Amino acid sequence: MPPRSTVATTSSMPAAGQRVPYSVAARELLRNTLLDAACHELSSRHWADITMADIAVAAGVSRQTLYKEFGSREEFAQILVLREAESFLDAVEQAVGRHLEDPSKALAAAFDLFLTAAAENPLLRAIVIEEGAEELLALLTVHGKPLVERAADRLTDVMVAGWPLMRRRDAELLGDVLVRLAISYAALPNGPAGATAAAVSSLFQPYVEKLVKDGLS
């Protein structure tokens, strides 16, 4: 089995263990092999020092194949970041699911889990701590539209599914705000994860309780 370090399955998780035709699985494997190779390189060098040729070689593939699969260095970086985000979102969804009875606790648990994992994640550490990763940093912030939208969407979906009385437009706002806060605290922590999570959770508690209980807008 080709091992993926941080992510359980690939992006859109269709009913685990499903039968995938070889051609699809092979393409997925190629993309993951390349993304994995980049992650691996990142553990020893700065993003700015890693060339497309390095990544191709590390994946055991030609530079041409890399370009064919991900149009440009920019796109490659974008997808690298998005893939990592999916694994965080998987974890966050599970955390929320474990506290459906208490939205405030769910929020705190998800935030705590996210910040703790973020502090340990190799890719995020490379972006946040080290120099020479400005290009990647931009993908979380000024060029982070795809990331924020995708994350807010998934967060919205899990909230609407878990708390049916909550209106979608309220969940959308909350999702967007929470994602932005999460990224901010991941990029620039402010004390231990648990404390930040508790603080943010207490701040949103009244609002969330209201939405969940009587669905007011």
Partner DNA sequence: TCGACTTGTCCAAACTCTGGACAAGTCACC
Partner DNA sequence: GGTGACTTGTCCAGAGTTTGGACAAGTCGA
Residues forming contacts to a second copy in the complex (CB under 8 A) are 1-5, 7-10, 16-26, 28-30, 32-34, 36-37, 40, 58-61
Which residue in 71, 132, 191, 192 binds DNA (CB under 7 A)?
A: 71
161, interface contact from a second copy, DNA, none, CB < 5-8 Å by kind: none
- Determine the 3-state secondary structure of 6 from DSSP: coil
Angle at which helices 103-120 and 168-187 pack, to 10 degrees?
30
- Determine the 3-state secondary structure of 153 from DSSP: helix
**CB-wise, 44 or 217, nearer to DNA?**
44
Query: Residue 146 CB: number of other CB atoms within 10 A?
Result: 14
Q: How far apart are CA 193 and CA 199, in angstroms?
A: 10
- Determine the 3-state secondary structure of 155 from DSSP: helix
Binding mask 49-68 for DNA (x = CB under 7 A): --xxx------xxxxxx-xx
8, interface contact from DNA, a second copy, none, CB < 5-8 Å by kind: a second copy
Query: Residue 7 CB: number of other CB atoms within 10 A?
Result: 18
Minimum distance from residue 77 beta carbon to a second copy (Å): 20
**CB-wise, 2 or 164, nearer to a second copy?**
2
**CB-wise, 13 or 165, nearer to a second copy?**
13
- Determine the 3-state secondary structure of 4 from DSSP: coil
**Residue 48 and residue 9 in contact, taking contact as beta carbons nearer than 8 Å:** no
Return the DSSP state at 139. H
**CB-wise, 35 or 81, nearer to a second copy?**
35
- Determine the 3-state secondary structure of 217 from DSSP: coil
CA 150 to each of CA 13, 18, 157, 179: distance values in angstroms, whole numbers, following the listed order = 15, 24, 11, 10
At residue 120, what is the residue type?
E
Minimum distance from residue 27 beta carbon to DNA (Å): 7
**CB-wise, 17 or 164, nearer to a second copy?**
17
Q: Which stretch binds DNA (CB under 7 A): 71-79, 94-102, 164-172, 199-207?
A: 71-79
**CB-wise, 13 or 20, nearer to DNA?**
20
Count residues contacting DNA (CB under 7 A)? 19
Q: How far apart are CA 62 and CA 34, in angstroms?
A: 11
**According to the binding rule CB under 7 A, does residue 14 interact with DNA?**
no
- Which residue ranges make up the site for DNA (CB under 7 A)? 22-23, 30, 51-53, 60-65, 67-69, 71-74
